[in-house]
């Protein structure tokens, strides 16, 4: 978790689907396949995680989804 500022902005700029696809095309070894089981399907999907991330973007100490928000 990064505090508001340059590091958080940089991280979020790299966490969009287009940038992930670009980085994956450059080096697929950093994105190994993972299976976290069916229980994580909805809560940890990209749309759900992205919505939560942008919802708490301006928070100084955002809560962690699935840990202290649910």
Instruction: Supply the DSSP string of the chain, one letter for each residue.
Output: -PPTTHHHHHHHHHSSHHHHHHHHHH-GGGS------GGGTTTTSHHHHHHHHHHSTT-SSPPPTTTT--
**Distance between CA 58 and CA 5 in Å, rounded?**
10
- Give the residue with greater pLDDT, 54 vs 1: 54
Q: What is the mean pLDDT of the chain?
A: 75
Q: 26-47 pLDDT, tens per residue?
A: 987 877 776 666 655 566 667 7
pLDDT band at 65 (very low <50, low <70, confident <90, very high): low
How confident is the model at residue 7, as a pLDDT?
87
């Amino acid at each position: 978790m990064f505090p508001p500022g340059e590091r958080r902005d940089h991280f979020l700029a790299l966490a969009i689907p287009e940038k992930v696809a670009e980085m994956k095309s450059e080096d697929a070894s950093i994105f190994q396949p993972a299976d976290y089981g069916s229980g994580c399907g909805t809560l940890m999907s990209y749309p759900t995680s992205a919505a939560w991330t942008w919802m708490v973007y301006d928070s100084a100490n955002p809560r962690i989804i699935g840990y202290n928000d649910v």
